[in-house]
Amino acid sequence: MNTETHIAIIMDGNGRWAELQGKKRVKGHEAGAKVVKEITTYCSNNKDIERLTLYAFSTENWKRPRLEVEFLMKLLEQYLKNELPVYLQNNVRFEPIGDIRAFSKSLQKTIKDVQEKTAHCDGLVQSLALNYGSQNEILRAVNKIKNDEDDITEAMLSNALDCKHDVDILIRTGGDHRLSNFLLWQSAYAELFFCDTLWPDFTTNELEKILKDFKKIERRFGGLK
């Protein structure tokens, strides 16, 4: 495997996981947050993995019931506050992507605080996609560069995106086979892995298996052998 592997994950299935156990959907998000921690720690100890980008809250997730959205916001803030020492201990740099201006001032402050305090870390980069949608990201990028005199190039657009790094492995848990507006530009040549496991049940063993399968793939990026 090259040393710059970027893994992106659509963490789906929290609600179903909870409902299957007769619990409220938010209990699934709580369990899902624990898995975020486990997978991040695993990736921070794996020298082959440079980046881990996780879809934590999409631009479409505002359509959920108000109480669920509020719960997710609180969970996120609590998670970031609790995890700061862990990020530092594991040398993980936290880089949010998405338009966080829609969040409360307090949550925005926590996000920026963790970003600033981990800016010196040079191990794994963990990105949480927060109020993120790929179409919105591309639109914001185009608006940033549209006044340049030259024609827009791929490199210019890529550089104006929140996430400037191509995805190598894109995983979606929870059984559906969709990209749900996640890293569409960056996943142009990603290897896609869809698994039925609901996110709260996703384990480091399953991730290891995906990494093994990924290693066997001969990637040609549209070229020939």
- Which among 100, 179, 94 is positioned nearest to 128, based on CA atoms? 94
Helix or strand (DSSP H, E) at 73 = helix 66-89
Q: Which of 79, 87, 132, 185 binds ligand FPP (CB under 6 A)?
A: 79
152 and 145 in contact (C-beta within 8 Å)?
yes
Task: Select which of 12, 162, 166, 168 is catalytic.
Answer: 12
Q: Which of 9, 11, 163, 190 binds ligand FPP (CB under 6 A)?
A: 11
CB of 18 to ligand FPP, least distance (A): 8
Q: Which of 9, 26, 36, 121 binds ligand FPP (CB under 6 A)?
A: 36
CB of 158 to ligand FPP, least distance (A): 25
Q: Which of 5, 9, 14, 185 binds ligand FPP (CB under 6 A)?
A: 14
By CB under 6 A, tell whether 199 contacts ligand FPP: yes
By CB under 6 A, tell whether 61 contacts ligand FPP: yes
Catalytic status, residue 12: yes
CB of 16 to ligand FPP, least distance (A): 3
Three-class SS of residue 131? Answer: strand
Three-class SS of residue 97? Answer: strand
| Residues in Cβ contact with 192 at an 8 Å cutoff, skipping those fewer than 6 apart | 170, 172
CA distance 88 to 78: 16
The widest CA-to-CA distance across the chain, in whole angstroms, is 58
Residue closest to ligand FPP, measured at CB: 15
CA distance 168 to 183: 11
Q: What are phi and psi of 181, to 5 degrees?
A: 65, 35
Q: Please list every residue from 113 through 132 that binds ligand FPP, using CB under 6 A.
A: 128
By CB under 6 A, tell whether 53 contacts ligand FPP: no
Interface residue list for ligand FPP (CB under 6 A): 11-16, 29, 32-33, 36, 56, 61, 75-76, 79, 128, 174, 199
The catalytic residues are 12, 61
